Chains A and B, each alone.
Chain A
Amino acid sequence: DGGITQSPKYLFRKEGQNVTLSCEQNLNHDAMYWYRQDPGQGLRLIYYSQIVNDFQKGDIAEGYSVSREKKESFPLTVTSAQKNPTAFYLCASSGPRDTGELFFGEGSRLTVL
């Protein structure tokens, strides 16, 4: 079945370590997104990519990096520069702009120890 797969579902990190969250989709979507979700707040956009080998910063890109070498894959690295990385991270993809519907992965919960 088509969908988006995120891994790992749960991740623990020590302060000062970089971690990479995986996101793979087989929906043949061009656009992919990374969001961060904190309690009591709306989804906040970290990075997005409309096409392979191109990506744009969202509202809270500082301390994060991404790559888009393949259409199917959009990994997110949470670097040691991110001051408050403990959060629920959601990857999503979308088809043509006029439909706009986002398809989400199951999410990755990162906890910094």
Chain B
Amino acid sequence: GQNIDQPTEMTATEGAIVQINCTYQTSGFNGLFWYQQHAGEAPTFLSYNVLDGLEEKGRFSSFLSRSKGYSYLLLKELQMKDSASYLCAVMDSNYQLIWGAGTKLIIKP
């Protein structure tokens, strides 16, 4: 079966760095996405990785290793507004998105 695993909840301190991991087992691979979702709101797109390596976008970076079925989202200089759930999703061979359950990130002052 297809499976996406990510930690349920993480806590970090304002101004610090946090890394959210995602491991996947899917039928084929056509890219991995990270979305941010604030409570009660719709997910918003953060990043897309289809090749191995690190993609940097401001305070956020996303890394992919296809051979290991692994990705992480790195958030630097954490701000209180970064408190949200972070969803990992993989596009399979049929171009369908398989979603992880999300990681709830709690930022403390």
Contacts and interface: CB of A to CB of B under 8 A. Distances in A.
Interface of A: 40-45, 88, 90, 97, 99-107, 109
A90 B101 contact: no
Contacts of B45: 101-103
B106 interface: no
Contacts of B102: 42
B33 A42 contact: no
A44 B89 CA distance: 11
Interface in B36-61: 40-45, 48
Given A41-B101, A42-B4, A105 B42 contact: yes
Interface residues of B, number: 24
A59 B97 CA distance: 11
Contacts of A42: 4, 87, 89, 98-102
A106 B87 contact: no
Given A100-B30, A100-B33, A43 B41 contact: no
A100 to B, nearest CB: 5
Most buried by A among B48, B95, B100: B95
A106 B30 contact: no
B8 interface: yes
Contacts of B40: 88, 107, 109
Given A42-B99, A100-B91, A107 B8 contact: no
Contacts of B41: 106-107
B38 to A, nearest CB: 11
B18 to A, nearest CB: 20
A64 to B, nearest CB: 17
A55 B31 CA distance: 23
B8 A40 contact: yes
Contacts of A99: 48
B13 interface: no
A100 B42 contact: no
